[in-house]
Amino acid sequence: MNTRNSQYASNFNGTVFFKNADDCLLPEPHNLACFRPSSRDELVEILRHWRALHQTPSKIVAIGAFSSFEFPQLNLVERESDQTGSQREFNSPHLFVDMSGMNQIIHVDKISLTVTVEAGITYCQLATQLREKGLAVANLSAYPEVTVGGGSGTGTHGSGHATHGHNQANQFISMEVVNARGEIQRIIDPHQFTHLGVLGVVTSITMRCLPMFYLKQACYDFPDLDTFDSLRLGAFKQLAGLDNFYSTMIRINLVDKKHHPLRCYIRTVARDENDFDFEQSFLGSPLLENSAGQEPLVFTGPYYDILPDHTTASRIKIPNPGTYHQAEYFVDNRLGSEAVHAFLREADRDDSFIKALPTGLKCRFVSSDDQWMSPTSSINGVNLYIAFQLSLYGSRTEVDLILKRIEQCFSDRQIPFTCHWGKLCHRGHAAVNNGLREGAKAMNAARAQLDPDNAFLDSDSELARLFAC
């Protein structure tokens, strides 16, 4: 029975590090910081072995692809401070469970259209393997490299069907978790599927799937912000009733402060990979044509090859580790126009937003759900959220100043908002997501039952502060 070093030293963009085995000594027999099981049975065996020796780890953290920008269930501290990048770290817990070795499909049922997977499988791996069986998942992560278990942990909503889809975990049927004692438990309550890593190590997930499908993207150019409301409302009125509608996104230009022109990307399910039948106009705007040598705006292909974030424009070359960040705020779509105008008024004050957000403001639309800890939970009668998706460049200090201004401009106009658990915010996740406190009480009660040793929650973390509300 061996503990092994993780393949990860930091998250993918180099902003968060963990101290590995060379940095800390742990109580025997687990004197290495990270364990990478290849199966549920191996994980259960070592946890039960340690319990028999009365050396159950006091704190356990499971990681997937380590692709989050923020870890609100962990207490992070500054590692160093400079203006060229930003790095933080957390002391390794008594055990770090690296789930990347558990990345297989366990079972596929073509009759019921369900698939059971190990939690460490990435959406890219899942999509590729399902295609061989003629199947697909309805909602693919905007970053297909994230794991199925990890993506659901932060309430990630991915690329899915905006009018009748929710976050990625909404396609789950059940989750299997293992607690610090090596006990296996099955979770079937959908309220708990945004698990935040506090219910135990998620080892497998059963989820719905559907027949393999293709997508096509159209892109339309709108000359100024005056069209935003007709686009925001008209897009859904015109598209929501279509059987083949998949998703839509709006990208607003920040450089042209006078007009703020925008583009609307519309994705629909194609008949097949040869379906290039596009509407030539949308709400009076013509279909954009592709330009030679530039990223295509109009195309058709397998759903998993159609980039879920609607273009690669958000992924310009990252200059240095620690200088690329993401944040995401969710606002009731009924307040969408007010929120967008508030954001742009703040952005127009100087050029700092242009520098930090060179690809502009990206707005998506996300249906609400009933998961207790989902930032897009159906609280206060919200049915549809507008998501402010921000790809930010600069040091953490520079980025934090931008986020502070955004949060302040929303607060000044009494616009309620929540934030994505796996991304950055200024005031802290416990404060920004304080509206989830009733769900947090229910989640904390479930956590106490599933994790009687309190091994999966850092008592100094943002999440612990919210649970204590």
Q: Which of 104, 77, 71 is nearest to 89 (CA)?
A: 77
Query: What secondary structure letter does DSSP report for 440?
Result: H
| Counted domains in the chain | 1
Sign of CA dihedral 447, 448, 450, 456: positive
Q: Please give the residue range of the domain that contains residue 310.
A: 214-432
Provide the 3-class DSSP secondary structure of residue 216: strand
Q: Which of 408, 390, 454 is nearest to 180 (CA)?
A: 454
Cα 331 off chain centre by: 16
| pLDDT (0 to 100) of residue 86 | 61
| pLDDT (0 to 100) of residue 25 | 40
Considering the domain boundaries, does residue 180 fall inside one?
Answer: no
Considering the domain boundaries, does residue 226 fall inside one?
Answer: yes
Give how far Cα 295 sits from Cα of 78, 263, 363, Å.
38, 14, 20
Please say whether the beta carbons of 385 and 162 come within 8 A: no
Residue 28 tokens, joined: 């025997």
User: Half-sphere exposure of residue 69, counting CA atoms within 13 Å on the CB side?
Assistant: 24
Considering the domain boundaries, does residue 288 fall inside one?
Answer: yes
How do beta strands 114-118 and 285-286 pair? Answer: unpaired
How far is it, in rounded angstroms, from Cα 242 to Cα 216?
A: 14
Considering the domain boundaries, does residue 88 fall inside one?
Answer: no
Length of the chain, please? 469
Considering the domain boundaries, does residue 227 fall inside one?
Answer: yes
Question: Within a 10 A sphere around the Cβ of 365, how many other Cβ atoms?
Answer: 21
Q: Which of 380, 462, 370 is nearest to 416 (CA)?
A: 380
Please say whether the beta carbons of 111 and 121 come within 8 A: no
In terms of DSSP H, where are the helices of 84-241? 123-131, 148-153, 228-239
Provide the 3-class DSSP secondary structure of residue 367: strand
Considering the domain boundaries, does residue 339 fall inside one?
Answer: yes
Tell me the sheet residues that pair with 270.
214
Give how far Cα 323 sits from Cα of 52, 67, 69, 73, 108, Å.
45, 15, 11, 23, 41
Considering the domain boundaries, does residue 303 fall inside one?
Answer: yes
Please say whether the beta carbons of 151 and 123 come within 8 A: yes
Sign of CA dihedral 56, 61, 62, 65: negative
Please say whether the beta carbons of 220 and 288 come within 8 A: yes
Tens of each residue's pLDDT in the chain, 469 residues: 344 445 556 787 888 876 654 444 444 444 446 788 999 999 999 999 989 988 888 889 898 888 888 888 888 777 655 545 566 777 666 788 999 999 999 999 999 999 999 999 999 999 999 999 999 998 887 777 889 999 889 988 876 555 445 788 999 999 999 999 999 999 999 999 999 999 999 999 999 999 999 999 999 999 999 888 887 776 666 777 778 888 888 999 999 999 999 999 998 999 999 999 999 998 889 999 998 877 788 999 998 887 555 455 555 555 577 788 999 999 999 999 999 999 999 999 999 999 999 999 999 888 899 999 999 999 888 988 999 999 999 988 999 999 999 999 999 999 999 999 999 999 999 999 999 999 999 999 999 999 999 999 988 888 999 998 6
Considering the domain boundaries, does residue 80 fall inside one?
Answer: no
Question: Residue 172 — φ and ψ, nearest 5°?
Answer: -80, 150
| The model's pTM | 0.92
| pLDDT (0 to 100) of residue 245 | 87
Q: 362: domain CATH number?
A: 3.30.70.2520
Q: Which of 144, 110, 141 is nearest to 125 (CA)?
A: 144
